[in-house]
Structure 1
Amino acid sequence: MSSEDNRNISNLVLLCIEHSHEVDDFPDNYPADMLRQWKKSQFDEHQLINRGWPLTDSEAGQALGASFQTLDHHHAGAILEVVRAAERVLLTARDARRGPAVQAVAWRAAKDRAHTSVGWDHNGNTIYAELSALETRQCREALEQALAQACEMLAPVVSDLKIELAAALASRPSIEPWVSWVSNAAENVVAASGAWPNTPELDDNDHFESTLDNLSAAKNALTATWRGEQAQVPPPEQEIEVPEVERDLMNEHLDLLERARPYARVAHLPYNEGLRAELVQAASVAASIPPVVSALTRGLDATCLLAVAVSANAGDDILTSLVEEDAQRRPLSVAFFMLAETVRTSKRLDRPVVQQHAEAAFLALWEGVDWSDLDSWETNDLNLRTALSIAAWVTSPLAVEERLANAIRQNPDVLLALVVACVEWVEEHDSSTGELLGLRRRYRTIPPWFPVNAIVEGAGTIAQVTVDSFGETAEDSPESLLSQVLWIVERGSK
């Protein structure tokens, strides 16, 4: 056999080293036919191993089905964990809501305890005390703290839910819309848990429960989709719904006044520029608070008094500069009140430089106002009657009467605006409970500076309203208020 034939693959038999030497050393014991049979057996065994487990098409289908059933069974744990996590969110949210509910009940109880009779008004109606600003702030802070704690309790369980949702989505991407629904619903639960309805009764509303219902519906729809059942379609994706909580502007105003009251009680506190700026800004809003008995401690007069008290210990240069700024305040009643209070306070503290400057600024303001301009009679300035009374005290009732009379003659259109601005505000209470029913405008008296003659002269072209024997009209429209004035004038002339 040639060397090439000897090395040909057809002459190859794979043996271990030991047996290859034995075959070579004893060729008679291992004839060629035996070796060829060995080689054939090796090849057949190799083919069988390469083929693996022989399966028919039917057997292969059964194997695939069994494999997918095993996969579904394995992935079922993902949706079960989502259900457990969602239920934990629901249970935790309801449990956490108890804290704010307890604080709301305590706040309501404090309000009830404070609601006691403290006297009566000029009509004999009982006046009731309200919860102090300090107690109100404490109750509000306790409620806000409980709401914050509720959100803290929910944070970890909502995070767990989102982790399980991510795992479920990785197992089955087709459920993404329902996963997003559950996630958004959980965020809405957190947002609702951090808010409480700002109502006088401090009762919870149905918004919180509706967010829980939405999360439960989302969870049920997701599990139904997972099982291949008909499921509720997820709603369109929206931003996280945070209930709009109306700001309690009056309570904010009362808190501001409470922070400033120490300056009116003691004389050593230094000038607080920031606090004074807050107060004069609040004064422009307080000008729209009617000057009635229940508003004495929070109205424009109290706000301006505290603003001046906060700056009482400032130097003369600062105070004279503040006087110039105060003369420009609007509505007009704010400027009049601020300057008048500065005159009174500087006189009490023996600050002649500031007093003289404030007096001069007040007179300049009075002389500079064009009362014939309708813009001077702002409808949201409910304290002009008092401001004009201050002007009459600084100048004289006759001087104020003449200025206003000239304004009417120059521009008859200001007549009704003047009548509305100079009316009294009256509180109406329930005669049995003393509860405040509302406010109304009514002329019961006419100020000594009121331009009666000019009013009577200009009223001829304005339709009159029926006035009863008590001087009352059915409404408090400008025409009705004018008719009340004319009724008082007519009775006074008899």
Structure 2
Amino acid sequence: MHNSAVTEGTATKPKPISHRKPDLKTVRELYGTAFRCGKPGCGKPLYTMNNDTGETLLNSEVAHICARSEGGPRWDADMTEAENRSASNLIPLCLDHAREIDATPEHYSVELLHGWKRTQLDEHAKIQKAWPLTEDEAQQVSDASFRPDDYGTAIAAASSVTAAARAVGHLVETARQQRRVPFEAAASWHAMRTRVHRSMPRPWNATTGEPLPPIEPSHMETVPYARRLDEALDQVVKSLSPLAATLVAELHAVRAAVTRVAAWCDWVETAASAVLVAAGRWPGRPPENDDQVHADAIAELVRASEALSAVWRGQQAEQPPEPPEPSPEPVETDLQRLLREHSQLLDRSRPWARVTGRQYDPDLYAELLHAAQFAVALPPLLMFLHLDLETTAALASKVARNADDATFASLIDDAAAQEPLAIAVRLTQQLMFVAQKKERADLEGKAREHVTRLLLDADWTDQALWVDNRHHVRALLSGTASISTDDEVRDRLASAITRRPELLDAILLGVSEQSEQHDHHDFSRVVGINVHIKRPPRWFPAAVVAAEIRRRHPELQPADPDDDHSDEDDVRHLAAQVLHIETHAP
């Protein structure tokens, strides 16, 4: 049966051609007309001598100029077996260069190697030195030069390259045929739009009389056609994905069998991915006529496949495009590093929150106490909710949960001595909650006394107190009001700003709130931060603060917090909002 025979409708794969190896007579002829490696300038003799024993050692192989097996380096399909096995197609080379000319055949053309051959013969004619071989020695050279695994490698390579080419063909033809599915969906959408355009009178510009674009179909009319086009594109991608996966698998086999074509395999794989992407898109919504993106992607895949086949055959092949420069690894900023390290610390501490019986770890508690200095500076935003001061203090208290009474009492005293005030209050409160839950009444009372003293004794005429606790002012003053009253806190703040008008900016920032602005299309992406005072606490002395704002900024007008004030700094923006609040106060 011929190689092209068909069995049950499927063409049998033709076996790759592999010529018989040269006979021993040819090997003896080659070594009888050469002394050194055929590469000009190499100078290594074909045999070396052992200085101790005087024994000669084979230091060479017979290399094919045009490959013995189909798919091998510089394969010539028009060469007969007799020509392939003849001395004119063979050249003795040292071991290194025998391997080099086959590993990188693109650097060693047939013409170049024939030139080496002529130089080698010319040298023999000049120096009359060679290596006359016995039959046994010729057999040794033959065994070393023409290994049985060469044939197996050639068969594997030919099979893999052929299978990859076949997979490319299958993918290309299927992609071309399947393009009609979204084409028909787009055509239906076009037809619907045309019907609507014809059924509606053409509008015109009332001022110029010029015609306006036709009225588009309603959203309700458009949705079914848009859905049909999307479903058609999805269907095509689903039908092509298994074919692309098969192609990628074959390319892996090609790389394994013929490592020198790896760059061309990468080219084919990249082009196949581009075909999948192109198959899943249609230009324009509403749809436009198909563009060249899909056709160009297919053409690129065909080019890449043809180049792969050519380079495998040892023919001149188009070089693969240069791979794109890899995107630089993002550089972690100092803030990102601190956030990452803080998050990792909190993750290490969370087991103490989940399991109540874990022993007190003083080293971990000390780390959390130090980390509170970082957490206190985090603004109260959703993105930092799992890292903020309250979370850090709560985890520290859980780590300390099972400390003995003396140690726990010492931790309470130490917590109350921390600065700034927000850390002292928040950490002492959390220790109080833990003591309360563990029914350690004395320790709970001790912590409560500290919290009360800290809040009531805070000197709000001290600007550093406002600045250092900027993100926690509202919580601290609300805590103070819960212990005393809103009126007492309001009077204290009114007195502070009356005595220290320079506190105005710090008060505005401290009483403000912050919220995240998210991308409308990608809600996970934060695009900005809003700073505002929309609903001031009951203890906020709005009238007194507004009076100081008018004194310092007589030109400033009241502004609604929802108005856009992106051109103003935060303090002026907040001041304008306070004027708005005071103006509209009941």
The TM-score with structure 1 as length reference comes to 0.48
> Which structure dedicates a bigger proportion of its chain to helix?
1
Q: Find the structure with the greater CA-based Rg.
A: 1
Bigger RCO of structures 1 and 2 (CA < 8 A, at least 6 apart): 1
